[in-house]
Structure 1
Amino acid sequence: MRYSDFDDEVSMRLFFAAVMLVLHGAAQAADCVDPPADPTNTYDAQHTYDKLARDYPFIRIAGAELPEGVRKVADQTYVQYGSRCLKLDMYLPAGLRMPVVVLVHGGGWRSGFRSEFAPMAVRLARRGYAAVTVSYRLSGEAPYPAAIQDVQAAVRWVREHADRYQLDPARIALAGGSAGGQIASLAGVTGDVQAIINIDGLSDFTSELALKYEDDPKKNPSAAGAWFGGRYAEKSALWREASPINYVKAGMPPILFIGSAQPRFSAGRDEMMAKMSQAGVKTDKLILPDTPHSFWLFDPWLQPTVDATINFLVSVPTFGHEL
């Protein structure tokens, strides 16, 4: 496979995998069975706060209380594999033909919960956007590209149920944080969305900066290595294939990058933005100074993240206008 073939070949592979998933799910009649709780899955706001509070004593875990005029439609199964059901939650304001932001949680591809993005979903809904938080298969359950396929299946589910929930199927954005930012970017550039928000997620697994951390020989395996099923030297094609930077082309969805002050999570970002600009694709970035990774879980940083997201979506001709 040639380096220049990644876009078409990977998109085709993901498409046929998605078709098989739909056919497989349609053939299942089993009830949903939730997987057992994983005690090692501790990537959530409270555990993250406990790690950060000493260095950032002013932060507060962002709330997810439903404001007046916003309703939550919880635990909707968007795809099923045998008895395994993947679910999403929708946060819906009152309105007709609402634009949608699908939110993908982080956690190093191996942990995390969709509730991580409930606070952002609530604030988006307050501004008139339908916000959808999704669960997906983590690396301990299914390796790459399962998470990409799952997120694209969630987008299809949203589009298929647009009439029922008064959503606009022509205005769907993907957003995610950390590993979720990378997943949202890759699912978006190889799928069918109108905009992408990458919050502190990698753009190039093969860059020197990314390999320093994601291919660290002291980690056995690293988070990325566990997702790909091997180190870079063993699975280099997959590491390249999963890098959103390799899919830049004219007509791709515009991307906003929102970054922390931690350089390791910006791997490939500026290079990807330069390629996008050369291809005539809209892109922008916001770097929040003096911030840790996972800043979007906390006040005072969540609101600037929401504001930047909305301002960008409004500026995208194929997506936004002021609500």
Structure 2
Amino acid sequence: MTRWPLALWLLLSGAGASAIAQPYNAETTYRKLVAAYPDIRIASSTVPASVQVRKDIVYARRGELSLALDLYSPGPRDQAAPLVLLVHGGGWRSGDRGEMAPLAARLAARGYAAATVSYRLSGQARYPAAIDDVRDALQWLRAHPEVHGADVDRMVLAGGSAGGQIAALAGMTSDGAVKAVINIDGLSDFTSEEARRHEDDPAKNPSAAGAWFGGRYAEQPALWHQASPINHVSRASPPVLFIVSSMPRFSVGREAMMAKLREHGVVAETVALPGTPHSFWLFDPWVTPTVDAMTDFLGRVFGALPASE
């Protein structure tokens, strides 16, 4: 099957020129939000001198396409730190790993190793390619501890929006390799009525999810079901933290998934940030409370981090 360049694919698929002109990133999202939230600022990804950053590390190749990640390593510590792999959003068809740099920088400043990852977007390869890519990034990190120095037995998947759904799905199906999942304003159930109202809207030709799955729910029901993290919950699932905005449509399925996790005795928590828009993790003043929620949760999962040397 021919894989078109992303911009050409969006045009041919009916997504239109506006989708091409408005990629998902902090700058374009800021322009959409600033009128309603005049005090927001694009979050800085500046790191303290103790944090080492290594960029453009290729973890996999798909033909001529190289998939890369950026590593944020904390300063020397008495014990190897947990590693958080951060998955960016963008409706499965836009965005890049740079969106997650502010979170990665702040996590590393607090003693956690972090990595931001690229994956194939829907215009490059449909579902489940993105899931396969994130799994391969996890495998690469597990196989190369000498590169990052983190504890490969304490790996975490986290992501925002579409990245939250990807992180949750990959985490629920990791066979124990992922020890915690953090889903930031991402879907848990594509098949619920509320999710399909937005993601299966016939006026969207195609919707973001429809483009990823290669068809509407009636055409690809098995894929819509398979890609829903809620359908993979078991007693072996890792603990899950949901961090949500004031816009519940983006985290549809969360309450049902939490109930299912708890039925299996798995820790499931929610931190809600009142008055926040979707994509809040890209901006101040919400980056700090987002990182607070993440590190508080990881502290309960793994215990307090040892002091730096």
Q: TM-score, normalised by structure 1?
A: 0.86
Q: Where does structure 2 lack aligned partners over 5 or more consecutive residues?
A: 9-19
1:258 — aligned with what? Answer: 243
| CA offsets 1:67-115 (integer angstroms, 9 cap, x no match) | 1101111000000122211000001112351210000000000000100
1:53 — aligned with what? Answer: 34
Give me the whole-angstrom Cα distance separating, in 2, the residues matched to 1:301 and 1:270.
23
Which letter does structure 2 place at the counterpart of 1:122? A
Which letter does structure 2 place at the counterpart of 1:45? A
Within the candidate set 73, 97, 101, 2:54 is matched to 73
Structure 1 residues 106 and 303: CA distance shift in structure 2, 3 A: same
2:278 — aligned with what? Answer: 293
What SS does the aligned partner of 2:211 have? helix
**Deviation beyond 3 Å, 4+ runs, structure 1:** 35-41
Give me the whole-angstrom Cα distance separating, in 1, the residues matched to 2:263 and 2:304.
25
Give me the whole-angstrom Cα distance separating, in 1, the residues matched to 2:147 and 2:67.
20
2:199 — aligned with what? Answer: 214
1:107 — aligned with what? Answer: 90
Give me the whole-angstrom Cα distance separating, in 1, the residues matched to 2:186 and 2:293.
16
Which letter does structure 2 place at the counterpart of 1:118? A
The answer to whether structure 1 residue 268 and structure 2 residue 253 are counterparts is yes
Give me the whole-angstrom Cα distance separating, in 2, the residues matched to 1:256 and 1:268.
14
Report how far residue 128 of structure 1 moved: 0.5
1:168 — aligned with what? Answer: 151
What SS does the aligned partner of 1:313 have? helix
Contact kept? 1:177, 1:200, Cα under 8 Å: yes
What SS does the aligned partner of 1:68 have? coil
Give me the whole-angstrom Cα distance separating, in 2, the residues matched to 1:49 and 1:83.
33
Give me the whole-angstrom Cα distance separating, in 1, the residues matched to 2:269 and 2:193.
23
Contact kept? 1:196, 1:255, Cα under 8 Å: yes
Give me the whole-angstrom Cα distance separating, in 2, the residues matched to 1:180 and 1:64.
19
| CA offsets 1:109-132 (integer angstroms, 9 cap, x no match) | 000010000000000000011110
Contact kept? 1:204, 1:268, Cα under 8 Å: yes
Contact kept? 2:81, 2:305, Cα under 8 Å: no
Structure 1 residues 190 and 61: CA distance shift in structure 2, 3 A: same
Contact kept? 1:258, 1:286, Cα under 8 Å: yes
Contact kept? 1:260, 1:289, Cα under 8 Å: yes
1:118 — aligned with what? Answer: 101
2:114 — aligned with what? Answer: 131
| CA offsets 1:212-232 (integer angstroms, 9 cap, x no match) | 000001000000000000000
Contact kept? 2:71, 2:116, Cα under 8 Å: yes
In the TM superposition, 1:117-266 aligns within 5 A as 117-191=100-174, 192-266=177-251
1:11 — aligned with what? Answer: none
Which letter does structure 1 place at the counterpart of 2:127? Y
Which letter does structure 2 place at the counterpart of 1:66? V
Which letter does structure 2 place at the counterpart of 1:172? M
Which letter does structure 2 place at the counterpart of 1:89? D
Q: TM-score, normalised by structure 2?
A: 0.90
Number of equivalenced pairs: 287
1:8 — aligned with what? Answer: none
Which letter does structure 1 place at the counterpart of 2:42? I
Contact kept? 1:41, 1:111, Cα under 8 Å: no
Report how far residue 37 of structure 1 moved: 7.9
- Quote the sequence identity (%): 60
1:85 — aligned with what? Answer: 66
Contact kept? 1:188, 1:253, Cα under 8 Å: yes
Contact kept? 2:60, 2:66, Cα under 8 Å: yes
Give me the whole-angstrom Cα distance separating, in 1, the residues matched to 2:71 and 2:21.
27
Contact kept? 2:172, 2:238, Cα under 8 Å: yes
Which letter does structure 1 place at the counterpart of 2:164? G
Give me the whole-angstrom Cα distance separating, in 1, the residues matched to 2:152 and 2:181.
15
Which letter does structure 1 place at the counterpart of 2:172? V
Which letter does structure 2 place at the counterpart of 1:44? N
Report how far residue 36 of structure 1 moved: 8.4
Give me the whole-angstrom Cα distance separating, in 1, the residues matched to 2:6 and 2:188.
32
Contact kept? 1:72, 1:92, Cα under 8 Å: yes
Give me the whole-angstrom Cα distance separating, in 1, the residues matched to 2:125 and 2:6.
15
Report how far residue 164 of structure 1 moved: 3.4
In the TM superposition, 1:2-81 aligns within 5 A as 39-40=20-21, 42-81=23-62
Which letter does structure 2 place at the counterpart of 1:297? L
Report how far residue 40 of structure 1 moved: 4.3
Report how far residue 253 of structure 1 moved: 0.6
